[in-house]
Structure 1
Amino acid sequence: MVDKFASVTLDDVRNAQKTLSGVARVTALEGSRHLSSLVGAPVHFKCENLQRTGSFKLRGAFVRIAGLSEQERAAGVVAASAGNHAQGVALAASLLGVRATVFMPVGAPLPKVAATRDYGAEVRLHGQVVDETLRAAQEYAVATGAVFIHPFDHPDVVAGQGTVGLEILEQCPEVGTIVVGIGGGGLAAGIAVAVKALRPDVRVVGVQAAGAAAYPPSLAAGRPVAIEAPSTMADGIKVGRPGDVPFGIIRELVDEVRTVSEDALSRALLLCLERAKLVVEPAGASPVAALLSEPEAFEGPVVAVLSGGNVDPLLMQRILTHGMAAAGRYLSLRLRLTDRPGALALLLGVLSEVDANVLDVSHVRTDPRLGLTEAEVELHLETKGPEHCARVAQALGEAGYAVIG
């Protein structure tokens, strides 16, 4: 059992980097001109979404499993995860010749389940939420003797994730701020250990989804505090309680923890796709969401860690729609008009004049709130941003249409 007060040193991270040589990729550092213009300083993406298995999780999982004794390896390893940690453990175990069993929630996205199996792990679907899956994995470890590989709460895992920080310092020696998403805290803690030991002047800023932000109350209390029913689209950082090991490090070394909204996460994911041509999952886009939400708060040069790119295509579709709406690219509204022949054509003519593309239109004529000669029309429009939305609304008002929502 790991001492809850166990810490991680720069030497631990450097040793982890040696262990990962030839295993984990040194992922690219890509500049973002759009974010640089908003922040007023250079902004770079650390592309862990392009890491093997699609996230940083391979780093910590491999270092942890590589450190097991021969007897422990012979007993196999077990993990619980909805996606990224599952794939990291599966590949790490396969590379090291260790048998792996991974518990995943029943509703885990099929591409993530398939990828975990393809990397060589036995997948067992159990529970509706990750907490239930986690308990099942821990019970399996007790029953079989398999070593439980925690996704973030172990010094070896934190040291492995800290190699991201060493790479950032090598790739961007002049970095002023590193922004990184926080779930349990393993990645942020590891980066902070490496960076603060070598460059204590660099600010390390953690980011959590507002609906799953366990770190602010925990930091205020001085100990890990569990929050009830965390809720966010960013499943990679949807953790209800900080890990004991990363919490102690983050409390001492991370300069600030910020929260971001679901709208900001959607817009960030859309920006990564459209501007940087990078597929990033919501958790991985959380640093970008923080930069978009308050760009003037960050001193450059800034490195935003894109921690993963494993996003289910169906979820991606919903998130992109949400992100486009948040960015003013979609406009939904209801209005009333006189129910007579040609009325809809006149309305569409107004929309055409302001270059709004109609995606969908529906009529309501039987609502008791409507007058005898009235009809209600619901419109879904494709627009070009907030200013265009305002022009559309203005044109409809000038044409005499009463917009009601």
Structure 2
Amino acid sequence: MENYTYSPDESEDSDTNEVMEMVDPSCDPNKPVKVSFEEITSAAYRIKSGIVNTACSKSHMSDLTGMDIYLKKDFLQHTGSFKERGARYAMLMLTEEQRQKGVVAASLGNHALAVCYHGYQLGIPVTVVMPIIAPIMKIQKCRDYNAKVIMEGKDMGEAKKIAIQYSKKNDLTYINGYDNPQIIAGQGTIALEILEQVQDVDAIVVPTGGGGLLAGVAVAIKTLNPNIKIIGVESERCASYNAAMESSKPIFTSIGGTLADGLAVPMIGYNAWETSKNIIDKMVVVKEEWIAVAILRFVELEKCVVEGAGACGLAAILAGQLDEFKGKRVVLILSGGNIDTTILGRCLERGLAADGRLVKCKVTVSDRPGGISELCKLIGSIGVSIKDVIHERAWVTSDVFSVEVKVVCETRDYNHSVELRDLLYSRYKKVRFDNNQFQSQVSSTSDYD
């Protein structure tokens, strides 16, 4: 692992140089670039030999959601995300001198992987700056493509500053992962494929982080068919596009830990904003628990392992935020599938909990022989599976003959969890459930808090 820290003392006029080195030359806030449809078609022609034309197939969840859903599976690109489209186009457009010197990128993972892979394919030296929160799997894959990996910065904002500074100091080309105009044009090629693969599309739902994919897709679609609705979707933990809409300009937004780590960008790109601000139809902000449920649904029903960013479109549908498209034909862009196996396990468990199928409750029972056994038999009598049992005596203050038992159970569905809850409340005086997030969806036979 390598650390790089830029020191202002390396120059005589440190304050001026530090400001200059923070500027991304391709993303001038005072002169934003609006990407054209012609640039997107040019990108499609240039990259087609090095990019997978991924499937866009009808989803098994169409009947479940009441929509005609199609899934654009761009997680099937070689490095597992749509980022390859823009990365290859941007690198193909380099001059010979720029190719010889190499490029620098900052990324949590997917853009880094794309640049490293296509740099390796095209013989271009690559350095990537990845924040310390970047997934381990993505870091190792970048190294597998012979890239120089610098682990520095607590988040994407810091990593980007370090990468720009590093590129200036070493006379390398910095490739912005979401706001470089060529990156935006490359990402827009996914829309051209969708229109060839699916007829009579009513809406396309686009995961949104820095805004590059949204901008490219919006330009391509609105040029060819203005009637198709473009819906952006982002996590509530990193809703930077929504913040830009409220402020009428890109604005720094604090971001928190999110399952959609690929969307964790603190500010929408200036070029992406200028390109997309007037042509998108709706922006949706989804809660984390719905992202977890969406990841679970993809694994169970589609046999697809999709990262949080790619699952956001389905999350919005499951949360009821796109009900106006009931009966319509909707395309979801599954933007990436690079999720750490450890994180995947947590996501599936969190999804089961949010779905009402993994339940944790605390029950105070008699500490006399058979008390805990009776509780377990009662739970098992309705077909609920017990995953874990922990009992605690020291913190039970009611009497010395009682014990608090914490039970983690697995149920068939939310209605089964409600059945369990009602059964326990009917037999025991002290019962507390820790996860009833979706209680309003199912009517219970009892009125318990």
Q: Same fold (TM over 0.5)?
A: yes
1:292 has 2:318 as partner: yes
Superposed, 1:189-268 pairs within 5 Å as 189-268=215-294
| Structure 2: distance between partners of 1:25 and 1:340 | 65
Equivalent residue number for residue 351 of structure 1: 379
Equivalent residue number for residue 114 of structure 1: 140
Q: Kindly provide the amino acid, as one letter, of the partner of residue 200 in structure 2.
A: E
Q: 1:387 to 1:94 in 2, by over 3 A?
A: same
Equivalent residue number for residue 16 of structure 1: 43
Deviation at 1:404, TM superposition (A): 2.7
Q: 1:126 to 1:400 in 2, by over 3 A?
A: closer
Superposed, 1:1-400 pairs within 5 Å as 1-2=25-26, 3=28, 4-34=31-61, 36-294=62-320, 295-298=322-325, 300-367=328-395, 369-400=397-428
Contact 2:366 2:372 in 1 (8 A): no
Render the CA deviation track for 1:311-357: whole Å, top value 9, x for unaligned.
01111111110001001110100011111001111111111111111
Contact 1:230 1:240 in 2 (8 A): no
Question: Which stretch of structure 1 is more off in the superposition, 217-226 or 127-136?
Answer: 127-136
Aligned residues: 404
Identity %, equivalent residues = 35
Q: Kindly provide the amino acid, as one letter, of the partner of residue 356 in structure 1.
A: V
Contact 1:264 1:292 in 2 (8 A): yes
Deviation at 1:271, TM superposition (A): 0.5
| Structure 2: distance between partners of 1:146 and 1:13 | 25
| Structure 2: distance between partners of 1:167 and 1:46 | 9
| Structure 2: distance between partners of 1:395 and 1:155 | 60
| Structure 1: distance between partners of 2:135 and 2:335 | 19
Consecutive unaligned residues in structure 2, runs of 5 or more: 1-24, 434-449
Question: Which stretch of structure 1 is more off in the superposition, 287-296 or 18-27?
Answer: 287-296
Deviation at 1:276, TM superposition (A): 0.3
Contact 1:185 1:243 in 2 (8 A): yes
Contact 1:39 1:298 in 2 (8 A): no
Q: Kindly provide the amino acid, as one letter, of the partner of residue 214 in structure 1.
A: S
Q: Kindly provide the amino acid, as one letter, of the partner of residue 219 in structure 2.
A: V
Q: Kindly provide the amino acid, as one letter, of the partner of residue 62 in structure 1.
A: R
| Structure 2: distance between partners of 1:297 and 1:285 | 19
Deviation at 1:397, TM superposition (A): 2.2
Render the CA deviation track for 1:345-392: whole Å, top value 9, x for unaligned.
111111111111111111111115231211111000011111000111
SS of 1:26's partner is: coil
Render the CA deviation track for 1:216-236: whole Å, top value 9, x for unaligned.
221122110111234322110
Render the CA deviation track for 1:92-143: whole Å, top value 9, x for unaligned.
2122211111111234322111111112311122223222222221111010
Contact 1:230 1:239 in 2 (8 A): no
Render the CA deviation track for 1:33-69: whole Å, top value 9, x for unaligned.
32x1244231011001111200000110111111111
Q: Kindly provide the amino acid, as one letter, of the partner of residue 414 in structure 2.
A: P
Deviation at 1:398, TM superposition (A): 2.5
Consecutive unaligned residues in structure 1, runs of 5 or more: none
Q: Kindly provide the amino acid, as one letter, of the partner of residue 390 in structure 1.
A: V
| Structure 1: distance between partners of 2:429 and 2:380 | 15
SS of 1:8's partner is: coil
Question: Which stretch of structure 1 is more off in the superposition, 105-114 or 73-82?
Answer: 105-114
Question: Which stretch of structure 1 is more off in the superposition, 74-83 or 361-370?
Answer: 361-370
Deviation at 1:401, TM superposition (A): 4.8
Q: Kindly provide the amino acid, as one letter, of the partner of residue 48 in structure 1.
A: D
Contact 1:83 1:113 in 2 (8 A): yes
Q: Kindly provide the amino acid, as one letter, of the partner of residue 384 in structure 2.
A: A
What TM-score do the two structures reach when normalised by structure 2?
0.88
Q: Kindly provide the amino acid, as one letter, of the partner of residue 104 in structure 2.
A: V
Contact 1:10 1:197 in 2 (8 A): yes
What TM-score do the two structures reach when normalised by structure 1?
0.97
Q: Kindly provide the amino acid, as one letter, of the partner of residue 257 in structure 1.
A: M
Q: Which runs of 4+ in 1 moved over 6 A?
A: none
Question: Which stretch of structure 1 is more off in the superposition, 381-390 or 128-137?
Answer: 128-137
SS of 2:309's partner is: coil
